[in-house]
Amino acid sequence: MTTTLIQSSTDKINSFLQDVQYHSLMVNSASFNVRLMRDRKTRLPFLDSQTGIAQSPCKLYMSSRHRMPGIHAGQLYAYPAQRWCRKKRSYLTLAQQ
């Protein structure tokens, strides 16, 4: 009884995952996400009209899974340091060609 129920459930899942519409939906959403992230990386910083400072994207927000107990007295939480990565300069790759 339970094996037939499990078998029918897995058959339903397999048929859903092999559906052409589902596959095209996943491909389209993946390509949209790639284009969106590529666009975000190439955006120029915007100028804040009140402060006159060029705002650029930052990585200030961390999820709760990065949270660690505080190290010093009175410190509730500590977060790991962000690994520094050098920005890729497009003009350097063009000069080497």
**pLDDT given for residue 22 in this prediction:** 87
Sort residue 74 into left (φ over 0), alpha (ψ -120 to 50) or beta: left
**pLDDT given for residue 92 in this prediction:** 58
Express each pLDDT in 30-64 by its tens digit. 999 999 888 877 877 778 888 888 877 666 677 78
For 1-16, b/e burial (b = at least 16 CB within 10 A) is eeeeeeeeeeeeeeee
- Rounded Cα distance between 43 and 54, Å, is 12
pLDDT band for position 95 (cuts 50, 70, 90): low
**pLDDT given for residue 75 in this prediction:** 86
pLDDT at 29 over 90: yes
pLDDT band for position 84 (cuts 50, 70, 90): confident
Helices (H), the chain: 2-17, 20-42, 90-96
What residues contact residue 46 under an 8 Å CB cut-off, 6+ apart?
54, 55
Whose tokens are 């709760």? That residue is 64
- Rounded Cα distance between 28 and 20, Å, is 12
For 25, list phi and psi in degrees, rounded to 5.
-65, -45
